[in-house]
Amino acid sequence: MIELRGLTKRWPGADRAAVDEVTLSVPEGTSCALIGPSGSGKTTTLRMVNRLVEPSGGSLRIAGEDALKQDPVRLRRGIGYVIQEVGLFPHRSVAENVATVPRLLGWADARIKARVEEVLTLTGLDPARFAARRPHQLSGGERQRVGVARALAGDPPVLLMDEPFGAVDPVVRGRLQEEVLRLLKTLRKTVLVVTHDLEEAVRLGDAVAVLRDGRMAQHAPAAEMLARPADGFVAEFLGSDRALKRLALLPAVAARREGRAEGEALPPGASLRDALAALLARGTKAVPLADGGVATLDAVAEAGAPMSAAAAGPAGSP
């Protein structure tokens, strides 16, 4: 659990706080995506959590402990940190880069070697091919994977990510997001991720927190926020196509009707957006679902409407 209460940062000489009394909880094993316009305080908030930036006020608890009373260097060893530029040591091999935190933690060589192989494999990098390479011998996507492997190496319960996939092309980016998401869920990490990209926020965050001028504009599960933005600012930030974006978060079975239809059934985990895409691409009135029944255009529209049963639930914080 990461708990920020009234966390504030005033930079010297600034006329207003860059982060102004932000309160936010990320329950254990869940992820929260921080989004907001440029300069709204996302990175400053993230860097206060690992004390790369010292807060001017407020409190911060990680796993129940007062993180502002801990030694910052020790605190950071328990927090994985992934940044856009990755920040690998250029003259060290991939294996040596990934081993950074385990070495600082004083692990024995054999344990470090085994762990490096394990996290490289977890992040989709075959140790036999990649362990000995230098960072400049990797593609952008591979470097990003090494960044994730390095952050996971010491098995920290908490992971902070700042634009983790910002530097890679959209195709690689989508695949990396999927993989990292699956990995972090399996490992039950508590994750705070900063991103500019709303789709990435919705994909990676169980909850989404929108900052505006250093203040929290809304904090809610993604589907709820897309259905019910707290105000005009959040609505505009989410975009006029927010109802469409939300379809990707709801299961196709929410639009299930009795009936039969021609063509290939949608796969089991399909979303309402997948159902809509199939209906449009096939030019049919109904598409078969994996477990029987069909999804129709009317049913997709009904299930995807912001006030439908699928969207019901209390407004406000998760």
Ligand X SMILES: Nc1ncnc2c1ncn2[C@@H]1O[C@H](COP(=O)(O)OP(=O)(O)OP(=O)(O)O)[C@@H](O)[C@H]1O
Residues of this chain that bind ligand X (CB under 6 A): 11, 18, 36, 38-44, 196
- Smallest gap from residue 295 Cβ to ligand X (A): 38
Which is closer to ligand X, CB of 36 or CB of 127? 36
- Smallest gap from residue 130 Cβ to ligand X (A): 30
- Smallest gap from residue 212 Cβ to ligand X (A): 10
Structure tokens at 273: 């957006």
Which is closer to ligand X, CB of 41 or CB of 135? 41
Which is closer to ligand X, CB of 175 or CB of 212? 212
Which is closer to ligand X, CB of 31 or CB of 43? 43
Q: Compute the distance between CA of residue 96 and CA of residue 53 in angstroms, rounded to an integer.
A: 27
- Sequence-ordered strand ranges (E) for the chain: 2-9, 19-26, 31-35, 57-62, 65-66, 79-83, 158-162, 190-194, 207-212, 215-221, 256-257, 286-288, 294-296
**How many other CB atoms are there within 10 angstroms of residue 108's CB atom?**
9
- Smallest gap from residue 40 Cβ to ligand X (A): 4
Residues 168 and 176: beta-carbon distance below 8 Å: yes
Nearest to 224 by CA among 204, 241, 207, 237: 207
Q: Compute the distance between CA of residue 8 and CA of residue 201 in angstroms, rounded to an integer.
A: 23
- Smallest gap from residue 167 Cβ to ligand X (A): 14
Which is closer to ligand X, CB of 42 or CB of 143? 42
- Smallest gap from residue 160 Cβ to ligand X (A): 13
- Cα distances from 133 to residues 51, 92, 95, 120, 301, in angstroms, run 32, 8, 8, 12, 51
Residues 273 and 247: beta-carbon distance below 8 Å: yes
Which is closer to ligand X, CB of 84 or CB of 100? 84
